[in-house]
Copies of this chain bind each other. A is one copy, B any other.
Amino acid sequence: MYGNQNYGGYGGYAPGAAPGMGPTGVSPDVQQWFNTVDKDRSGQINWEELQGALINGQGKNFSESACKLMIGMFDRDKTGTIDVNEFQQLFTYINQWLAVFKNYDRDQSGHIEESELAQALQQMGFKFSPEFIKFLIAKSDLQHHKQISVDQFIVLCVQIQRFTEAFRVRDKELKGVITIAFEDFLSVAINCST
């Protein structure tokens, strides 16, 4: 389900980069889900409509960041919305992430904790120190610094992947070190963050 490459000491990928797949027929299930989510019947879904439809394992709606991130990944014409074909791809993508997440959430609590996150990231090819894992959790779980929910997990993994990819492109000799100018740094930083 996810690659396990390890290039030059930094990591690989999680669920396949679905954007780029050609449109296929939309299944009736997906069409029905789309119609429910598309509250204003515009034929397009924006991040707010998506947020209204996605609940994490803790009974809360997916975060704004997660919804904007996911819409942005499938919104090819950059209108801030997706149509039913793009939605079908997003649907598959979310289900892939749910499967990854459930695989690590062994007690089906709806969240994963430090050791489970470390394991998940290691499977994706990242070897981070325990301090870095703690830091990642504290960034997601602002109040208790203990656990992350599925939407936070998606945001975290996609962010790590994007920054890794941006780094890798610049690290042509796989040295694990890059030289980067200010504007390039800033544009990578803002482009990859959610």
Contact = CB atoms under 8 A, between A and B. Distances in A.
A180 B178 contact: yes
A47 B142 contact: yes
Interface stretch (A15-23, A27-35, A91-99, A185-193): A185-193
A76 to B, nearest CB: 13
Contacts of A185: 163, 167, 178
Contacts of A63: 64
A167 B139 contact: no
B177 A143 contact: no
Contacts of A176: 181-182
A136 interface: yes
A136 B179 CA distance: 23
Contact of A138 (B71, B78, B144, B145): B78
A111 to B, nearest CB: 15
The size bracket of the interface on A is: 35 or more
| Oligomer: number of copies | 2
Contacts of A72: 142
Nearest to A72: B142
Contacts of A138: 78
A81 to B, nearest CB: 7
Contacts of A178: 179-180, 185
Contacts of A65: 64-65, 194
A167 B182 contact: yes
A164 interface: yes
Interface of A: 9-10, 46-47, 63-65, 68, 71-72, 75, 78-81, 128, 132, 135-136, 138-139, 142-145, 159-160, 163-164, 167, 171, 176-183, 185-194
